[in-house]
Amino acid sequence: MLPTPFEFDRASTVAAAVSAVGQEGEGMFYSGGTELLLAMKMRVIHTERLVDIKGIPGLDRIVLNDANELEIGSRCTHVKIAGDSVIREHVPALASLCANVANVRVRSVGTIGGNLCFGEPHADPPTMLGALDARLVLQGPNGTRSVHADDFIRSELETVREADELMIVIVFPRPTGPVTYRRFKHGERPSVNVGMAWSMEAGAHSIKSARVRVGALGSKPQPLKAVEGVLKGLPVHDAHRAIQSVLAAALDELDVNEDRHGSADYKRHLAGVLLLRNAEEAVAMQGRAT
Amino acid sequence: MDNVAAVIGMDPAEFRLKNLAARGERTRPDLRALDMDMSELMVRVTQSFASESQGSNRRSRGMAVAATDPANTPIANAIVRLKIDGSILVSVSSIEVGQGAHATMARIAAQTLKQPFSAVSTLRADTAVAPYDWGTGASRSTVVVGLSVENAALDAADQILDMVVDVWELPKESLSLVEGGVSTGSEVLTFHQIFHRTLGVDSGEVVGRGAITPRSKKGALAESPLFWETSAGLAEIVVDEDTGEIHAPRYASAADVGRVIDRVAAEGQDEGAAAMGFGHALYEQLEFEDGQPLNATPIDYMIPRISDVPPVFDTILIENGDGPGPGGAKGMGEGAILPVAPAIANALFSAYGVRITDLPMTPEKVWRALQRGSEFMEFNMSMMVPATPGDLWKTLIDVPSISSCIPGCENVEEIAPLESYKAMVKQKIGPFKVEVPAEIVVESVTEPSHVRTRATGRDKFTGTRLAVILDVSVIPEDLGSKLTVDAKVDIQGRLASMGLGVIKRRVDQNFEEFETRLKSLLGAA
Amino acid sequence: MTNVQLISFSLNGQPVEMEIPGHTLLIDLIRDRIGLKGTKRSCDMEVCGACTMLLDGDPISSCTTLAVDVDGKEITTIEGVTPPNGLSRIQKAFVLHGGLQCGFCTPGFIMAVTALLKTNPHPTDAEIRHYLHGNLCRCTGYTKIFEAVKSLAAEQVSEDAASPAARRRNFRLETS
Note whether B302 contacts A188, CB cutoff 8 Å: yes
C-alpha torsion sign, points C94, C95, C101, C107: positive
C131 and C65 in a common domain: no
CATH architecture of A7-52: 2-Layer Sandwich (3.30)
Residue C160 counted as domain residue: yes
Q: Which long-range contacts (CB under 8 A, 24 or more apart) does B106-111 make?
A: B107/B261, B107/B262, B108/B146, B108/B149, B108/B150, B108/B153, B108/B261, B108/B326, B109/B80, B109/B149, B109/B150, B109/B152, B109/B153, B111/B326, B111/B327
> Under a CB-based contact definition with an 8 Å cutoff, are residues B281 and B338 in contact?
no
Residue B198 in contact with partner chain A when CB distance is under 8 A: no
Query: The domain spanning residue C20 has which CATH number?
Result: 3.10.20.30
Could you tell me which CATH number the domain at A62-173 has? 3.30.465.10
Q: Which long-range contacts (CB under 8 A, 24 or more apart) does B192-199 make?
A: B192/B84, B192/B85, B192/B86, B194/B160, B194/B163, B194/B164, B194/B167, B195/B84, B195/B163, B196/B84, B197/B167, B197/B168, B198/B163, B198/B166, B198/B167
Q: How far is CA B90 from CA B80, B154, B207, B211, in A?
A: 5, 13, 10, 13
Note whether B243 contacts A260, CB cutoff 8 Å: no
Question: CA-based Rg of chain B, rounded to a whole angstrom?
Answer: 34
Q: What's the pLDDT score for residue B58?
A: 62
Class of domain B374-522 (CATH, top level): alpha beta
Coil/strand/helix, residue B524: coil
> Domain span at residue C97?
89-169
pLDDT along chain B (525 residues), means of 10: 81 91 92 93 90 60 92 92 98 94 96 98 94 92 96 98 97 97 97 97 97 94 93 96 95 96 95 97 94 90 96 96 95 95 94 90 94 68 84 82 81 85 81 80 83 81 76 85 82 63 75 83 72
- Residues paired with residue A137 on neighbouring β-strands, in sequence order: A146, A169
**Chain A contact set for B294 (CB, 8 A):** 260
Q: How far apart are CA B138 and CA B229, in angstroms?
A: 10
Q: How far apart are CA B416 and CA B7, in angstroms?
A: 41
Residue of C nearest to B297 (CA): C43
Query: The domain spanning residue C159 has which CATH number?
Result: 1.10.150.120
Coil/strand/helix, residue B520: helix
Residue C174 counted as domain residue: no
Residue of B nearest to A262 (CA): B364
Looking at domain B76-219, which of 2.30.30.280, 3.40.50.150, 1.10.260.40, 3.30.365.10 is its CATH number?
A: 3.30.365.10
Residue A41 in contact with partner chain C when CB distance is under 8 A: yes
Q: What's the pLDDT score for residue B403?
A: 79
Coil/strand/helix, residue C5: strand
CA torsion B303-B307-B310-B315 (nearest 10°) is 80
Q: How far apart are CA A234 and CA B25, in angstroms?
A: 71
Q: Do the domains spanning A7-52 and A62-173 agree at the CATH topology level? A: no
C109 and C161 in a common domain: yes
Residue of B nearest to C142 (CA): B306
Q: How far is CA A234 from CA A206, A238, B320, B500, in A?
A: 5, 7, 69, 46
The last residue of one of the domains, among C61, C81, C101, is: C81
Residue of B nearest to A264 (CA): B364
- Residues paired with residue A195 on neighbouring β-strands, in sequence order: A181, A213
Given a cut of 70, whether residue C167 has pLDDT beyond it is no
Given a cut of 90, whether residue A252 has pLDDT beyond it is yes
Question: CA-based Rg of chain C, rounded to a whole angstrom?
Answer: 16
The nearest CA of chain A is from the CA of B444 a distance in Å of 15
| β-strand pairing of B245-256 with B229-240 | antiparallel
| β-strand pairing of C4-11 with C74-76 | parallel
**Chain A contact set for C28 (CB, 8 A):** 2
Q: What's the pLDDT score for residue C166?
A: 43
Q: How far apart are CA C161 and CA C164, in angstroms?
A: 8
Q: How far is CA C88 from CA B205, C16, C61, C162, in A?
A: 36, 24, 22, 9
Q: Let me know the angle formed at the C-alpha of B357 by B353 and B361, rounded to the nearest 5 degrees.
A: 85
Residue C110 counted as domain residue: yes
**Chain C contact set for B99 (CB, 8 A):** 101
Question: CA-based Rg of chain A, rounded to a whole angstrom?
Answer: 19
Looking at domain A179-289, which of 3.30.390.50, 3.40.50.620, 3.40.50.300, 3.40.50.1820 is its CATH number?
A: 3.30.390.50
CATH 3.40.50.720 assigned to domain B14-71+226-370? The reply is no
C94 and C58 in a common domain: no
Q: Let me know the angle formed at the C-alpha of C68 by C64 and C71, rounded to the nearest 5 degrees.
A: 120
The last residue of one of the domains, among C32, C64, C81, is: C81
Q: What's the pLDDT score for residue B450?
A: 85
Q: How far apart are CA B500 and CA B490, in angstroms?
A: 10
**Chain B contact set for A273 (CB, 8 A):** 242-243
For A273, which of B243, B283, B298 is closest by C-beta distance? B243
Note whether C138 contacts B271, CB cutoff 8 Å: no
CB atoms within 10 A of CB B388: 14
C122 and C77 in a common domain: no
Q: Do the domains spanning B14-71+226-370 and B76-219 agree at the CATH topology level? A: yes
Q: How far apart are CA C65 and CA A31, in angstroms?
A: 10
Q: Which of residues 213-242 of B touch A (CB under 8 A)?
A: 242
Q: Let me know the angle formed at the C-alpha of B220 by B215 and B223, rounded to the nearest 5 degrees.
A: 95
The nearest CA of chain A is from the CA of B310 a distance in Å of 17
- Residues paired with residue B381 on neighbouring β-strands, in sequence order: B485
Q: What DSSP string describes B77-92? A: EEEEEEETTS-EEEE-
C154 and C108 in a common domain: yes
Given a cut of 80, whether residue C164 has pLDDT beyond it is no
C94 and C73 in a common domain: no
C75 and C99 in a common domain: no
The last residue of one of the domains, among C18, C52, C81, is: C81
Is B108 exposed, middle or buried, given 0-12, 13-18 or 19+ CB atoms closer than 10 A? buried
Given a cut of 90, whether residue C160 has pLDDT beyond it is no
Domain map of chain A by residue range?
Answer: 7-52, 62-173, 179-289
A258: left (phi over 0), alpha (psi -120 to 50) or beta: beta
Q: What's the pLDDT score for residue B374?
A: 54
**Chain B contact set for A262 (CB, 8 A):** 364
Q: What integer best gives the mean pLDDT of chain A?
A: 94
C146 and C130 in a common domain: yes
Indicate the length of chain A as a whole number: 290
Q: What's the pLDDT score for residue B453?
A: 84
Q: What's the pLDDT score for residue B473?
A: 87
Q: Letter for the amino acid at B64?
A: A
| β-strand pairing of A62-64 with A166-173 | unpaired
φ, ψ of residue B20 in degrees (nearest 5): -65, 145
Say what the ipTM of the complex is.
0.94
The tens digit of pLDDT for each residue in C88-123 reads 999 999 999 999 999 999 999 999 999 999 999 999
Residue B448, preceding bond cis, omega within 30 degrees? yes
Domain count across chain C: 2
Q: How far apart are CA B404 and CA B228, in angstroms?
A: 60
Q: Which residues have CB under 8 Å from C19's CB, separation 6+? A: C4, C5, C6, C7
What is the percent of chain A with per-residue pLDDT over 70, rounded to a whole number?
99
For B364, which of A188, A189, A262 is closest by C-beta distance? A262
Given a cut of 60, whether residue C1 has pLDDT beyond it is no
Residue B367 in contact with partner chain A when CB distance is under 8 A: yes
Given a cut of 50, whether residue C174 has pLDDT beyond it is no
Q: How far is CA C176 from CA C10, C17, C38, C70, in A?
A: 14, 11, 17, 19
**Mean pLDDT across the stretch A22-26?**
82
Q: How far apart are CA B139 and CA B337, in angstroms?
A: 13
Note whether B302 contacts A270, CB cutoff 8 Å: no
Domain map of chain B by residue range?
Answer: 14-71+226-370, 76-219, 374-522
Residue A221, preceding bond cis, omega within 30 degrees? no
Q: How far apart are CA B230 and CA B32, in angstroms?
A: 14
